[in-house]
Structure 1
Amino acid sequence: MVWLALTFEWPRPIALPGWIAWAHGFLIVIALFASILLWMWGLIMVSMPADTRRGLAFELFAKHEGMGYMRMGFPPARLGVFFAEKLPGPRDPARRRLPVGAARPASLFRSTFVLWRGRDASDPELAIGIASYTGGKNDPKGPRHGFRYLSLRLPRALPHLIIDARGNGSLRTLLPGTQRLSLEGDFDRYFTIYVPEGYERDALELLTPDVMACLIDYGSRWDIEVIDDRLQLASSRVTARSDAAESTALVYFAELVGAELAHQAASYSDPRASRPRAQVAAQGRRLRRRSTAWTTAAFVGVIGAMLAFPHVLGWLLDR
């Protein structure tokens, strides 16, 4: 109202004292910024009660399930496709396990509303939360900037697998089709499987009919990634309305599918590794990513063709 009065002299002309007439423009700017700040402050105050209620609901759920709860959790490890791990190359450290005691690269995500179970909240056996991307424009990007995630520790390291749910978006823009694996039955109607080349039989050993049935029945709307000794899951449902249903479903999924996959992992052996019962060979630790060079080249080619078309057409018509 003050800004309207100073700018348009509404609802009636305002006679300003002569000693402040020179500051008329400055006062307009101050009034504009003050109104914006007041609007932002009001929006924050209105949203805080809903955020507080959401946190209380998570805390009650955690107590009911015997889990810990943190409003602001530890940043999730920069591991796998979901959490924007650096694209691996032939000599990239991502193709081998980190040395003992070595620090992982800084996380590019922050986590909120985290439910966890285990001895250490910074490295829990099970964690469920909401991840939000905090990296810069030059940092690697994951398939989503915000998602609900589950991270479950497995008994041992396994080959890198991605189970892309057809109803939860698609990861095919990130992964080459040569790593795609087709499974029997109706599984391909719900999921697309990506495995490192040469590890197709290993994937069949891990994804038994019981595991596939559990995935179809309880996880058909989520993307799943098995990497190192972790099972990671990504869900696009991050709103407060979906908290109760998604949290309950994720805990049940972790208990059911986690137990099935853990049973297979306990007996898994990779004959290509130097320690087959404890390690995965380098070629199976990370999936190859789709190169952006061809995409960039195609984009540049299309733009070049569009720019050259009028000149080529004019040259043809003038002949």
Structure 2
Amino acid sequence: MFYSIALIAYVLDLVFGEFEKLKFIKHPIILIGNYISWFQKKFYKDSILRGSFLTISTVLVVFVISYILSLIDNVVVQGFLASFTLASKMLYDSVKDIVSSDDLDVKKQKISYLVSRDTSEMSNSDVNKAAVETYSENLSDGVIAPLFYLICFGIVGAYVYKAINTLDSMVGYRNEKYENFGKVSAILDDIVNYIPARITAVLIALFFFSRSALIEFGKFGKKHDSLNAGLPISAIALGLGVKLGGPTSYFGKLKEKPFFGRGREIIENYDVLNALSIKRKLDIFIIIVLILGVL
């Protein structure tokens, strides 16, 4: 049954994306984010214990609500609900929209909606690099991981995953404010993304038909601070024949990140488009796998 739900969800996401025209429906991930923001305003403290209360309460609330929704005995309704955990179309459209403009200021504004790094002083290459990196990372976070947990555990698994991932994206930073408060969320996010990140890296390498990407994504990926994020980034860098990573500014401070991949350091617009070109292959592959699962 979970394969049927996942197939419906994936096709709905491909066609309709975030269902922007359904104004009467508040996106569930936004509601999760609203709860996290409310908790922070009310109960924030520079404390691992206080942050763990945020993580536990968020996951528990999402688990209970999604479990109740999972009792709906209708595969189409469940597929519709599950589609909100996927972001394949939105991710593709958002990244492609960045390279649709020739105005650097417009590109910097658009990339600022997708990344946490400082964008004001970015060059065109910096914007393109950030676009490729966020595309590869979010292929895992926004497509492969929720689909993985949807197939394994139904909509409860997909929504609990999205709750953990949203927590990490909002409080899982290693800075003065969130080093302690977001620690539990960040650790939990590392755990739940361990398998999906590696699946994503392998798929990227296969769809680029890149032997070096398949063999070496782990070697470069382990240089990343994150247990998982560097793997798909390295795979796509090796597939494109470029270097990603390098010195990057976050919250006004320059971070000396390692390089991932080998080749050119200047990232052109066509590199972003080449990265996006794997989407069609990925869609076909996923739909075939889900159909086989249903059968």
Task: Specify which structure has the higher proportion of strand.
Answer: 1
Task: Give the number of the structure with larger relative contact order, counting CA–CA contacts within 8 Å between residues 6 or more apart.
Answer: 2
TM-score, reference length from structure 1: 0.28
Between Structure 1 and Structure 2, whose CA radius of gyration is higher? 1
TM-score, length basis structure 2 = 0.30
